[in-house]
Chains A and B, each alone.
Chain A
Amino acid sequence: MSATAAGALFVASLVIAVALLHRPLGDHLYRVYTSARHNAAERGLYRLLAVRADTEQSWPVYARGLLAFSVISVLAVYGLQRLQDRLPLSAGMPPVTGHIAWNTAVSFVTNTNWQSYSGESTMGHLTQMAALAVQNFVSAAVGMAVAIALVRGFARSRSGAIGNFWVDLVRGTVRVLLPMAFIGALVLVAGGVIQNLSGTHEVGTLTGGTQAITGGPVASQEVIKLLGTNGGGFYNANSAHPFENPATWTNWFELLLILAIPFALPRTFGRMVGQVRQGHAILAVMGVLALASVLLTNAFELGGHATVPRAVGAAMEGKEVRFGVSDSATFGAVTTLTSTGAVNSFHDSYTPFGGMMTMANMMLGEIAPGGVGAGLYGMLVLAVITVFVAGLMVGRTPEYLGKKIGPRQIKLASLYFLTTPALVLIGTAFAMGSPERRASMLNSGPHGLSEILYAFTSAANNNGSAFAGLTVNTPWYDVALGLCMVFGRFLPIILVLALAGSLARQSPVPEGAGTLPTHRPQFVGLVVGVTVVLVALTFLPALALGPIAEGLS
């Protein structure tokens, strides 16, 4: 079997697995978030947190709860890092530097998992488990909660309430992420991912030197890193490290973990609004964009080099031999499409256009299928913008799922759409405007520009993957990227919750022949078109001076 055919089979089998999984998982999520019953563990937690679990919240209350929880989370993660030398299981690590601790705290709470540090040489086991792994769970649950709240906005009428944040948070963690992570971790351990609490082993190498190999609770961290589209690896090498991702089939399984929840949520959305076909349409938009991106990235990586460099293995630069070009490209595309940010190869070494694809995936706003929860709400906001323009063209005040898209809705959706591009471009401009910040670049010219553009794109879109090459553990980058992560996460969340509140209050307009149908291929094509055109128009100047200039030279 040729490498291309193997790569195609890898992608095809992944598509089939996701397709088979999305329905039962989507239905499960539907039951989780609509059930009226609390289980014993949850009741205990609610008592502990003094939460009145049967009271629903208006959007400002929901948002306040979410923000308070996140602020406390940032403080906890920051504190655990700074004090880790005085706490057990430190594995001998000193306290983490202030700006790195801030950056890391923000990074894990915002589900970005940008790492300006090297895991095995910075974080003790307690920090890894009690700070980082916990955030891997709850930050993902926060994303799902916001998505579900927005869906409730569409599904409800004349209601002031969009759910209860604490209930959504607890259920997402207890009923979805924990059980799935448990099963996933067992599979990974079976595949060779390590799980222990041992310290550093000194081993002799073949060349006669010694190498320090750090053990740790990797599998439990690894599974939620992927399942929650977090991406923060136990090791600096992330999913390229053999202890995190030992073989082709674990590579495949890790991608399935990444894609499982984001692709199942449209089904949940369809069930909750009472029209499964609406979920199918959203799923189709995500699927079309994702598949196109995976195929293009593969094409650029497999065919992007001239014949001679390809013959000598240029395309393998930055990639693991056990995965090969195609499976690495697929991983690169999937991880950037989902705001995961785990990497099994170095995007910096991709062909200029292959590298551009990973950036473009993030610039889409992490919606195809995006991070857990974040992908769905981002996608729905884009659908709202599409409905607005298209709805006018059918001669009615635009409406989506019976909800009118009026001034307030379009204001919130527009601000949402503005936030991340503004953060990316302004951040990049500030970095590029100063020689000392440019000094962090590894390469000069368009490739160096791409390194900085990538960093801000990744942070503002809460992806967390790095292009590699850029030295980011300087105070300026830690603070700037940290701010991008905070604003890139919480401004959109507040806007989405406000949107949910404004939609929930409306009473739905009944559907008729004059209503724009939002479940047909026509609409799917339109959302894809609007998304691609808007993103292209926003980022083309920056991309032209980075990867495009490099690729066309």
Chain B
Amino acid sequence: MSAPVLEKPLARTGRAGGLLDPRHLLVALPDALKKLNPATLWRNPVMFVVEIGAAFTTVLAVLRPSFFAWAVVVWLWLTAIFANLAEAVAEGRGKAQAATLRRARTGTRARRLRSGDAAEWDEIGASELRPGDLVVVEAGEIIPGDGDVVRGIASVDESAITGESAPVIRESGGDRSAVTGGTRVLSDRIVVRVTQQPGESFVDRMIALVEGANRQKTPNEIALNILLAALTIVFLVATATMQPLAVYSKLVNPGVPDSPALDANGVTGVVLVSLLVCLIPTTIGALLSAIGIAGMDRLVQRNVLAMSGRAVEAAGDVSTLLLDKTGTITLGNRQASEFVPVAGVGEGELAAAAQLSSLADETPEGRSIVVHAKERYGLRERDLHGAEWVHFTAQTRMSGVNIEGRQIRKGAASAVLAWVREAGGRPADEVGRLVDGISASGGTPLVVAERNRVLGVIHLKDVVKRGMRERFDEMRRMGIRTVMITGDNPLTAKAIADEAGVDDFLAEATPEDKLALIRKEQEGGRLVAMTGDGTNDAPALAQSDVGVAMNTGTSAAKEAGNMVDLDSDPTKLIEIVEIGKQLLITRGALTTFSIANDVAKYFAIIPAMFAAVYPGLDALNIMRLSSPQSAILAAVVFNALVIVALIPLALRGVRYRPASASRLLSRNLYVYGLGGIVAPFAGIKIIDLLVQFLPGMS
């Protein structure tokens, strides 16, 4: 058994390759232009102001044309288009996937049973199915809607939604009963009870999700939008109220000739709009929605479907992770780790007996004994003729073999010891001590005996997946507490918890215990994330802030959670948390960058506007930009280009490394705060060096 996910590279890029392929930009361009429609753009107040400014300057440029005015007009429009482009590119990445999904959905027919056990059915369109309908699906057919298998067992190809080509087993009852509309039955025949409303199937929701249709703004996005709107208003007021001051300044310096930036009517409209657009937080305003869409998309790339953006954001805030022991922290099953012989028996003899007793044992534990005997003691599998295999039953609680007159058994200590005593054997006290010792260490002891003689004890152990301890250490540094959930007794649970390095554990956990634990954590103000697949997990999934249901799980579990992992890999919860954090960090970093940029823009534009009336203000022109026109144009061009330059970052997300809040902040402040102040000085200067050669720039 291996741990498939941990060995997979963290970021599964695939489709994401070539983040800013020029082709993507070109494809997205028509959508970007469509988004200029003010009726939709007003939702983004920052870019709406840019558009109004662009329209206003266009009118001015038509009335009093000059090369400078038209150059500014073009770049103002480009600013708005670049912003739309960012959003369109982000959306475009989901659209391709949606198209594939749609193909799986269209035109499916359903065979609806007339009554519970009837063999008769009506053939209807899949879209007519209602919850509670029973449909029959046979090999080669597409399952017409989401539901639970109520009769039969089948292998199902779910590659249409998971991308995983290996078929999965779906059967009635238990935790593997859920089937998804649009997947194909490969063998056998099943009866499915439909659980979805028409048009609300899993695939429908998935399509809506990846397309970003009716995307709801998350609370944090709303809050950030409010701050950006407030900053926009501040700068709107600052630029508008500057005008009477500018008029006055020109008035009291009558000898100064009019310039393209300043005349008797104050700062010219083109320059005033340029200043405004440069000051309002266009960078983050342009990229904000792209960041959100891309965050959801990163989850989709990892085969996780979040039912709401809110859940993704909550993932970043999670402070307690509930992890099921089996399959998440440990490999699925216990494995033999040691053969402990009693006094007078050689290790080799015990190993040979243990192996012999397990050769026909198909349970994972049994196989692990054979593997351990081979790896550790070089015992090869043998083909035995005339062996009489004794299989495990719930009554005997042991298994083994009768061969060549020998009777070998292995099993639970009490059962095997009773069997030995039955044959007149007198097990030494030592056996009891060995058994207790292994139990105390969290392992499971299996006693091996040959009729009236105990040979020794096999130590079965939960094997913690590789790399888990490091993962949990990382979590701790991020301020996240990990709690292991297990049905084991407290002793066993503690031993595994210690080995894996989780912060806490919940032993002998019932679904009610789990729910109670979540409530307790939430009362303390913590956000809880968990994974689950069974129907009895549903209440806990619904209660947790981030509930990730396994795709292999029941529909009840999938309905209750707010995310579904198509790979059914519980370890992925950790990645989900990281994606949530990355989303917020990207927003914060680009907001900081955007505001920090303004400093340089002031140094470009204020001297350009007023150095004519107050020559002393030329001292502020520390970039030594060549002329007022070129300075203003350079600032506007920089402001537009920086949006394009940052689209890849917005789509990819700021690099996230688990660290304490303090260290993360320092690093991001250094890169995006300080970088945001310095970068535009260099950028504007370089653009100025180029645009100064254009006509009308002096």
Which residues in A have some Cβ–Cβ distance to B below 8 Å? 385, 388-397, 402, 405-407, 409-411, 414-415, 417-418, 421-422, 425-426, 428-430, 432-433, 438, 444-446, 449, 507-510, 512-517, 520, 522, 526, 529, 533-534, 536-542, 544-546, 548-549, 551-553
Taking a contact as CB atoms closer than 8 A, the residue among B223, B229, B669 that contacts A406 in the complex is: B223
- CB of B87 within 8 A of chain A? no
- CB of B55 within 8 A of chain A? no
A406, B219: Cβ atoms closer than 8 Å: yes
A549, B279: Cβ atoms closer than 8 Å: no
Task: Write the nearest CB–CB distance from A197 to chain B, whole angstroms.
Answer: 47
Roughly how many angstroms separate A446 CA and B251 CA in the complex, as a whole number? 11
Given contacts A388-B223, A509-B526, A510-B319, contact A393 B665 (CB under 8 A): yes
B582-622 residues with Cβ-Cβ distance < 8 A to A are 582, 584-585, 587-589, 591-592, 595-596, 598-599, 602, 606, 610, 613-617, 619-620
Tell me the dominant secondary structure on chain A's binding face.
helix
Find chain B residues with CB under 8 A from A393 CB. Answer: 585, 588-589, 592, 664-665, 668-669, 672
Of chain B, the residue at the smallest CB distance from A514 is B479
Roughly how many angstroms separate A509 CA and B524 CA in the complex, as a whole number? 7
Find chain A residues with CB under 8 A from B615 CB. Answer: 553
Taking a contact as CB atoms closer than 8 A, the residue among B226, B243, B616 that contacts A410 in the complex is: B226
Given contacts A449-B249, A544-B610, contact A395 B585 (CB under 8 A): yes
16 more contacts with CB within 8 A, not counting A406-B223, A428-B241, are A392-B587, A392-B588, A395-B580, A397-B220, A407-B223, A410-B226, A414-B230, A417-B234, A425-B237, A426-B241, A432-B244, A510-B524, A513-B477, A526-B665, A533-B598, A541-B238
Given contacts A425-B238, A513-B478, A526-B669, contact A552 B661 (CB under 8 A): no
Task: Write the nearest CB–CB distance from A132 to chain B, whole angstroms.
Answer: 33
Given contacts A415-B230, A449-B249, contact A541 B239 (CB under 8 A): yes
Given contacts A395-B656, A429-B243, A449-B249, contact A414 B227 (CB under 8 A): yes
B238, A552: Cβ atoms closer than 8 Å: no
- CB of B316 within 8 A of chain A? yes
19 contacts between A and B (CB under 8 A): A394-B585, A395-B582, A397-B219, A405-B223, A411-B223, A418-B233, A421-B237, A426-B237, A430-B244, A432-B248, A508-B525, A513-B476, A514-B661, A515-B479, A529-B673, A537-B279, A537-B598, A544-B620, A549-B249
- CB of B515 within 8 A of chain A? no
Roughly how many angstroms separate A449 CA and B252 CA in the complex, as a whole number? 11
- CB of B317 within 8 A of chain A? yes
Find chain B residues with CB under 8 A from A534 CB. Answer: 595
Find chain A residues with CB under 8 A from B222 CB. Answer: 407
B interface bracket (residues with beta carbon within 8 Å of A): 35 or more
Roughly how many angstroms separate A38 CA and B235 CA in the complex, as a whole number? 48
Find chain A residues with CB under 8 A from B313 CB. Answer: 397
Taking a contact as CB atoms closer than 8 A, the residue among B246, B478, B602, B665 that contacts A522 in the complex is: B665
- CB of B563 within 8 A of chain A? no
Taking a contact as CB atoms closer than 8 A, the residue among B317, B613, B616 that contacts A396 in the complex is: B317
Task: Write the nearest CB–CB distance from A417 to chain B, whole angstroms.
Answer: 7
B223, A438: Cβ atoms closer than 8 Å: no
Top 9 nearest A-B pairs by Cβ distance?
Answer: A514-B479, A392-B588, A395-B581, A552-B616, A414-B230, A512-B479, A513-B479, A393-B588, A429-B241
Find chain A residues with CB under 8 A from B233 CB. Answer: 418, 422
Roughly how many angstroms separate A526 CA and B665 CA in the complex, as a whole number? 10
**Using an 8 Å CB-CB cutoff, how does the interface string of B513-540 with A read, 1 for contact, 0 for none?**
0000000000111100000000000000
A516, B665: Cβ atoms closer than 8 Å: yes
Find chain B residues with CB under 8 A from A510 CB. Answer: 319, 524-526
Find chain B residues with CB under 8 A from A396 CB. Answer: 316-317, 581, 584, 661
B662, A517: Cβ atoms closer than 8 Å: yes
A410, B617: Cβ atoms closer than 8 Å: no
Roughly how many angstroms separate A142 CA and B584 CA in the complex, as a whole number? 38
Roughly how many angstroms separate A444 CA and B581 CA in the complex, as a whole number? 55
Find chain B residues with CB under 8 A from A390 CB. Answer: 588, 665, 669
- CB of B242 within 8 A of chain A? yes
Given contacts A406-B220, A539-B238, A552-B619, contact A394 B245 (CB under 8 A): no
Roughly how many angstroms separate A411 CA and B239 CA in the complex, as a whole number? 22
Find chain B residues with CB under 8 A from A522 CB. Answer: 662, 665-666
Count chain A CB atoms within 10 A of each CB in B226, B524, B581 and give the residue with the most: B226
A428, B585: Cβ atoms closer than 8 Å: no
B223, A542: Cβ atoms closer than 8 Å: no
Roughly how many angstroms separate A441 CA and B241 CA in the complex, as a whole number? 19
A407, B319: Cβ atoms closer than 8 Å: no
Find chain A residues with CB under 8 A from B252 CB. Answer: 444-445
Find chain B residues with CB under 8 A from A409 CB. Answer: 223
A429, B616: Cβ atoms closer than 8 Å: no
Find chain A residues with CB under 8 A from B606 CB. Answer: 540-541, 544
A540, B665: Cβ atoms closer than 8 Å: no
Find chain B residues with CB under 8 A from A405 CB. Answer: 223
B211-261 residues with Cβ-Cβ distance < 8 A to A are 219-220, 222-224, 226-227, 229-230, 233-235, 237-249, 252
Roughly how many angstroms separate A539 CA and B220 CA in the complex, as a whole number? 29
Task: Write the nearest CB–CB distance from A407 to chain B, whole angstroms.
Answer: 4
Roughly how many angstroms separate A417 CA and B231 CA in the complex, as a whole number? 9
**Using an 8 Å CB-CB cutoff, how does the interface string of B664-690 with A read, 1 for contact, 0 for none?**
111011001100000000000000000
A392, B585: Cβ atoms closer than 8 Å: yes
B584, A542: Cβ atoms closer than 8 Å: no
Find chain A residues with CB under 8 A from B396 CB. Answer: none
Find chain A residues with CB under 8 A from B489 CB. Answer: none
- CB of B480 within 8 A of chain A? yes
B525, A509: Cβ atoms closer than 8 Å: yes
**Using an 8 Å CB-CB cutoff, how does the interface string of B621-654 with A read, 1 for contact, 0 for none?**
0000000000000000000000000000000000
Find chain A residues with CB under 8 A from B242 CB. Answer: 429, 541-542, 545
Task: Write the nearest CB–CB distance from B528 to chain A, whole angstroms.
Answer: 12
Find chain B residues with CB under 8 A from A429 CB. Answer: 240-245
A414, B585: Cβ atoms closer than 8 Å: no
Of chain A, the residue at the smallest CB distance from B615 is A553
